[in-house]
Structure 1
């Protein structure tokens, strides 16, 4: 282990014990370490209290872009003074960093801001949004507050997140691009739903889905370059995302949408518009959230899978109401429940795996 890391850890322990630190004192020391790019040094210490762990995680997240992982021995303001081993951590010779060294550190952690409108990924996202807006003009009017609004929103979000991601912080760029990738996959899901309902042709779908995949590919390659170059030493996620079309729960969710649309075309639903639109909204929301879950960060994946489960639960309630009103039969409900249960089981298993991954 690096000598400076060992010294910082040891000084922190000694200072905490000798000074009988209060949580207020600990907070001050941890914030100072975070500001100087060294809070990560304490991350894996075994003798931390729960309060300390929470503060460390908080400051590591807040000051993530500041953290310095390389060439610690060469940074002057991290060198200890010649005082005794009982010197408190905040009495290290924390002299200001020479201007030249500070610029080098920032270069490692920060990015140059470009004109986002010249970025090919942004151009493709803009083209996709424009084509979708034009295409949706031919959609049925009754889908205005549902499919049309949702696909407009998701397509718009792809472009907006790319624009927001054009900034100096590498971690924030990864976060915004991750959300853009998620929105792209959600947009593709709405396109598949539109194709299934024959609102668009196969040719139109292929053209737009190709644009979606181009955006995802461009963003992924950009993040790979950042991770392998400017982002070295920073805890960044794997930029690659799986193909949602290979995910069994997604395929079954699309089948569920097809079945729900087929059922709600029955004459009995014409007088039950709340049930009709509610069932369609829940089933399509299940698909959209599964698709959007296929992005980079574990908490976001978990949240979207959970939202998909909520949509399934909402659909279950509406189906029961339909059964009680005599609109659907028990046989129909049993058939749909088979699809719902298969989706739910896959999602709960996936979420359990994600929880284990978060804990490890």
Structure 2
């Protein structure tokens, strides 16, 4: 038994290395282990990150009834360590005799339409065009930052909708989830641009309304697919919360305001690299929180975790400014308190999701 547990743990470590420790990619592997009843062996394993621990706890709670704690050898019908590794790593699609349920899932498919006639695609294309036109009036020093990011996120909406026009139900959900996340990220960049007065309130309202329309169209589309073609499939809830109602998001916007305000002071005029880092890390925390408001839990973890990493990077930059004597400690305390409060909220939300208390976030 101990030998089997050890080999499962080793196989997981090997998979982590293979996917370069990406929380989103490893989530599929963890879910597969949970469905097989083996995820419990990873619960107290060392050398894994906090997001992984939360994901393991989440899937352990979700598939607690599946877990096999005794007679693993008999259940897995293992004769050698080689066979054990194969059994652990085997994906559902590699099974030599697919279950009746899996065969049914394979038959569920969609009709492929001309995506350019789809109203969601048209709206996304219109949004991208308007944003590119708008960004021509942004300050030159934002071209490598806000301009590139907002144009990228707007383009991603349209591209993901186009890639979602295929026969596979699951992949359509995946691509539309990416599009929804990109739409929310686009709104975040628009809000930050409004805060810096790069755009007017009227311009923001027009483009924000357009992103909202795209999200609603995609959500309605997925809801209809789940009800009709997706019956019996393990598909996520297509409805996502409004990121503007999330306290950590609004505080992160406030953090960006304060970072821009402080880095405009004369003391920072000769510190272009430091200014760039501070602004990039602050805005990245907002963008990742927004993009995390999509369909799949592993993606939420990935973006929330990326937001926390950006906040940690910001802390390092703030320390540098303190060491250089650019800003006194007292002036940075308010910013640091705000940064810590955002990070604490994200950590709590991730923990709540793993306990099944906040899956809608």
TM-score of the superposed pair, with normalisation by structure 1: 0.74
In the aligned structure 1, how far is the partner of 2:309 from the partner of 2:123? 33
Alignment of 1:354 with 2:347, yes or no, is: no
> How far does residue 350 in structure 1 lie from its aligned partner after superposition?
1.2
From 91, 104, 129, the equivalent of 1:59 is 91
Q: Where does residue 207 of structure 1 map in the other structure?
A: 206
> How far does residue 355 in structure 1 lie from its aligned partner after superposition?
3.3
Q: Where does residue 278 of structure 1 map in the other structure?
A: 277
Say whether the 8 Å CA contact 1:184–1:216 is kept in structure 2. Answer: yes
Larger gyration radius, structure 1 or structure 2: 1
In the aligned structure 2, how far is the partner of 1:309 from the partner of 1:316? 11
Say whether the 8 Å CA contact 2:189–2:287 is kept in structure 1. Answer: yes
> How far does residue 337 in structure 1 lie from its aligned partner after superposition?
1.0
In the aligned structure 2, how far is the partner of 1:207 from the partner of 1:67? 50
> How far does residue 352 in structure 1 lie from its aligned partner after superposition?
1.6
Q: How many residues align?
A: 286
Alignment of structure 1 residues 39-188 onto 2, 5 Å: 44=66, 46=68, 48-49=75-76, 55=87, 58-60=90-92, 68-69=100-101, 108-188=107-187
> How far does residue 42 in structure 1 lie from its aligned partner after superposition?
6.9
**Could you say if the C-alpha distance between residues 61 and 241 of structure 1 is closer, same or farther in structure 2, counting changes exceeding 3 Å?**
farther
Residue by residue, what CA displacement relative to the aligned partner does 1:303-325 show, whole Å, maximum 9, x if unpaired? 00000000001100000110111
Q: Where does residue 18 of structure 2 map in the other structure?
A: none
**Could you say if the C-alpha distance between residues 189 and 324 of structure 1 is closer, same or farther in structure 2, counting changes exceeding 3 Å?**
same
In the aligned structure 1, how far is the partner of 2:137 from the partner of 2:185? 21
In the aligned structure 1, how far is the partner of 2:182 from the partner of 2:148? 14
In the aligned structure 1, how far is the partner of 2:108 from the partner of 2:89? 19
Residue by residue, what CA displacement relative to the aligned partner does 1:167-188 show, whole Å, maximum 9, x if unpaired? 1110010001001000000000
Say whether the 8 Å CA contact 1:129–1:152 is kept in structure 2. Answer: yes
In the aligned structure 1, how far is the partner of 2:315 from the partner of 2:345? 17
Alignment of structure 1 residues 165-314 onto 2, 5 Å: 165-314=164-313
Q: Where does residue 32 of structure 1 map in the other structure?
A: none
> How far does residue 60 in structure 1 lie from its aligned partner after superposition?
2.9
In the aligned structure 2, how far is the partner of 1:116 from the partner of 1:67? 33
Larger mean CA deviation between 49-58 and 224-233 belongs to 49-58
Q: Secondary structure of 1:242's match?
A: coil
Unaligned 5+ segments in structure 2 are 1-33, 38-65
**Could you say if the C-alpha distance between residues 68 and 111 of structure 1 is closer, same or farther in structure 2, counting changes exceeding 3 Å?**
farther
> How far does residue 331 in structure 1 lie from its aligned partner after superposition?
1.1
Residue by residue, what CA displacement relative to the aligned partner does 1:276-324 show, whole Å, maximum 9, x if unpaired? 1110000000000000000000110000000000000110000011011
Q: What do you get for the CA RMSD once the two structures are aligned?
A: 2.8
In the aligned structure 2, how far is the partner of 1:250 from the partner of 1:343? 8
Q: Secondary structure of 2:161's match?
A: helix
> How far does residue 213 in structure 1 lie from its aligned partner after superposition?
0.2
> How far does residue 356 in structure 1 lie from its aligned partner after superposition?
3.6
